[in-house]
């Protein structure tokens, strides 16, 4: 565009674009822009986002008199299917809801497992006793106590939301977030045992020991990987009286990973099976074989079926990471069990945030809050 190589750009257009934007119009486009807003002074790095499930690429350009966003979209044949110059939208600010210091209080806690000490925080209604308590168990990856993803803090949303409903919440930094590679002794391969379960059991024991907690109302809320492992955590910790499984996988990990990779590839029009297989192997190589072996031996649905405590299964229908197929398998596996309740939400994604169209990883970069409906259902 800058070098007026309009023939090259036109050749990259798909048929619809070539019909919509004739070559003669393309030749004058950049000159007209500079005539209106002055010469180009600075261009920022390229980023990507998604509009209704279509991946678009953009860079923000600073001209003398205005800033414009240069947006390009491609079709599945990698031809340009959209090209636009728009005003740069105002910067999105995180949706911060102020902490209700009148009705709630927060205090630091430490979840201790052997030599591992994890800083955490306890949220509770002020001056109340005999409280139900929820222990939040993270998804995969090194996550902090707030479940921070982009500008969003989904576990903090749950803690503050449940606190407002008279429920205490314990959340803590994950071991892999605090200790990294030192999360297991040197020479030992990490498994979900060290990554999640040991510390979750310690957190449950801590929660049950708190003087203001109703010992008959200790609940574990596991998100994603935490939801997958929640039934196993309950078998290890008799003080747990109920489970909330948020977007919990129920199928073999290999099946889920392949499905995720294929879905993400489809957003960019990538259907090359060899490349997808290579990406799958890269994901598998990010954890030792002992990690995957542990998950392959674990039977989450059967473990959950063996439990007599109440279980609440929650699922966003726009979730591409853990899908409605997983939710259906939980339902099928719990058939006939009166202690299992199921809710799904048509407009929510993997982080239980609102959206429209196909869910994409880029939507986590936009400020949002975990759905109030989900918090209400957990509280009930």
Is residue 122 within 8 A of residue 109, CB to CB? The reply is yes
Catalytic residue among 157, 173, 223, 350: 350
Catalytic residue among 319, 326, 359, 371: 319
Q: Find, among 27, 8, 6, 15, the residue nearest to 75 by Cα.
A: 15
Please measure the distance between the N-terminal and C-terminal CA atoms of the chain and give it in whole angstroms. 57
- Please confirm, yes or no, whether 49 is among the known catalytic residues: no
Distances (CA, A) of 303 to 241, 242, 246, 292, 331: 15, 14, 17, 18, 14
Which stretches does DSSP call E strand in the chain? 40-43, 47-51, 54-63, 67-74, 80-87, 104-113, 116-125, 131-137, 148-149, 152-153, 168-172, 213-223, 242-246, 311-316, 340-345
- Please confirm, yes or no, whether 209 is among the known catalytic residues: no
Is residue 360 within 8 A of residue 50, CB to CB? The reply is yes
What CA–CA distance (Å, rounded) separates 33 from 150?
33
- For residue 118, the tally of other CB atoms under 10 A from its CB is 20
Catalytic residue among 6, 224, 250, 359: 224
Is residue 378 within 8 A of residue 348, CB to CB? The reply is no
CA angle 205, 161, 311 (to 5 degrees): 55
Reported residue count of the chain is 380
What CA–CA distance (Å, rounded) separates 191 from 204?
20
Residues with catalytic function: 224, 319, 350
């Amino acid at each position: 565009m800058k070098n007026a190589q309009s023939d090259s750009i036109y050749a990259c257009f798909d048929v619809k674009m070539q019909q919509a934007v004739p070559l003669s119009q393309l030749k004058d486009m950049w000159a007209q822009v500079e005539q209106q807003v002055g010469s180009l002074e600075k261009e920022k790095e390229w980023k990507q986002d998604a509009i209704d499930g279509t991946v678009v690429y953009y860079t923000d350009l600073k001209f003398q008199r205005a800033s414009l966003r240069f947006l390009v979209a491609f079709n599945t044949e990698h031809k340009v299917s959209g090209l636009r110059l728009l005003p740069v939208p105002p910067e999105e600010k995180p949706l911060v809801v102020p902490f209700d210091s009148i009705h709630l209080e927060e205090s630091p806690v430490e979840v201790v497992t052997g030599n591992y000490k994890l800083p955490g925080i306890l949220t509770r209604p002020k001056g109340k006793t005999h409280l139900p308590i929820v222990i939040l168990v993270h998804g995969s990856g090194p996550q902090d106590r707030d479940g921070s993803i982009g500008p969003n803090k989904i576990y903090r949303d749950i803690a503050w939301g449940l606190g407002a409903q008279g429920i205490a919440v314990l959340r803590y930094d994950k071991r892999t977030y605090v200790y990294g590679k030192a999360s297991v002794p040197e020479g030992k391969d990490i498994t979900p045992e060290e990554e999640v379960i040991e510390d979750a059991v310690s957190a449950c024991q801590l929660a049950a020991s708190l003087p203001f907690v109703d010992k008959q109302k200790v609940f574990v809320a596991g998100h994603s990987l935490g939801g997958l492992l929640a039934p196993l955590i309950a078998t290890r910790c008799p003080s747990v009286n109920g489970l909330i499984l948020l977007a919990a996988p129920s199928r073999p990990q290999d099946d889920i990973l392949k499905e995720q990779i294929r879905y993400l590839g489809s957003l960019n029009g990538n259907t090359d099976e060899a490349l997808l297989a290579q990406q799958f192997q890269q994901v598998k190589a990010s954890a030792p074989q002992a990690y995957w072996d542990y998950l392959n031996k674990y039977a989450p649905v059967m473990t959950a079926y063996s439990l007599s405590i109440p279980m609440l299964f929650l699922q966003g229908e726009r979730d591409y990471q853990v899908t409605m197929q997983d939710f259906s398998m939980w339902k099928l596996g719990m058939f006939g069990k009166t202690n299992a309740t199921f809710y799904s939400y048509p407009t929510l994604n993997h982080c239980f945030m609102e959206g429209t169209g196909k869910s994409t990883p880029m939507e986590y970069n936009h400020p949002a809050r975990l759905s109030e409906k989900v918090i209400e259902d957990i509280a009930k």
